[in-house]
Amino acid sequence: MAFPDYVYKFGVQCSLSFKNISNVMAIKTLEIGALGIQHEGWLESYYPEDLPEDWRLDYYSHHFNVALLPVDEWLSVTEDDLAQWTEDVKDEFQFLLAIDNKDINTAAIEQISLIKTILKEHFSGVVVKVSDENLTTELQTLREISPVFADGVKLSGSDLATCWRKQASIENSVLGFITEQDAGNLREVRACVEAFLAQCQEHGTCYLIFEGASPSTKMMQDTQVVIQMLT
């Protein structure tokens, strides 16, 4: 495999850094994905100009194995849409759904249940944006039907999985975020990858999600190459 120039530029530094992380080899896979796949900016920078809208998931899934979908990309999808999703993606592809805690209601829970039922092994859970440390009734109901990851604060007295972020002191998390600010250059991204892997412990597969209005797919793919070198 031919590596980009940037890998040779500071690949030694990366390798030395990872040798000091004892948990890295216990992780089978670290997958990179984006928050949303329907970014307007991707129409010029990522998706081919003549690519039909309903082929975008198929195209995306040839480059990445996970996507975290915002509410506007999953709340109104139909059973037929979901059935097509399962046809569009590879066997290992995983879907995560994002929602704000205040937006969890009966309709959302029913839709999540439908999505989980149809996607089956392609469904990995729901990422809930929380700002209060208390476990709400809606969140308790949601976790009865789906794996749930809390993003924002660690819930008091709860064993709910918490998302990793560079600024937060989270340990043993399988799902983390790279912010738009941290994705400015590959050195910053590498630092995030190192820190995330160091806390993953012995999980089989972990996920890092790039945030932002239109995450750089080039940076995401470059990150994949670095991960292949270092794990």
User: Which tokens belong to 229?
Assistant: 């070198």
16 domain-assigned: no
CATH number of the CATH domain containing 60: 3.20.20.410
6 domain-assigned: no
User: Which tokens belong to 134?
Assistant: 């208390």
> Which residue range is the domain that position 154 belongs to?
30-230
3 domain-assigned: no
Residue 152 — left, alpha, or beta (φ > 0 → left; ψ -120 to 50 → alpha)? left
Whether the per-residue pLDDT at 83 is higher than 70: the answer is: yes
Terminal-residue alpha carbon distance, the chain: 15
11 domain-assigned: no
How far is 107 from 46, CA to CA, in rounded Å? 33
User: Which tokens belong to 127?
Assistant: 């990422």
Beta bridge partners of 34: 67, 210
12 domain-assigned: no
Beta bridge partners of 125: 96
Beta bridge partners of 156: none
Tens digits of per-residue pLDDT, 143-197? 999 999 999 876 655 678 889 998 877 888 999 999 999 998 999 999 999 999 8
- The three-class DSSP label of residue 164 is strand
Query: DSSP letters of 80-96?
Result: HHHHHHHHHS-TT-EEE
Tens digits of per-residue pLDDT, 167-180? 877 888 999 999 99
103 domain-assigned: yes
74 domain-assigned: yes
Q: How many domains, in total, are found in the chain?
A: 1
How far is 164 from 187, CA to CA, in rounded Å? 19
pTM: 0.87
85 domain-assigned: yes
**Residues 217 and 33: beta-carbon distance below 8 Å:** no
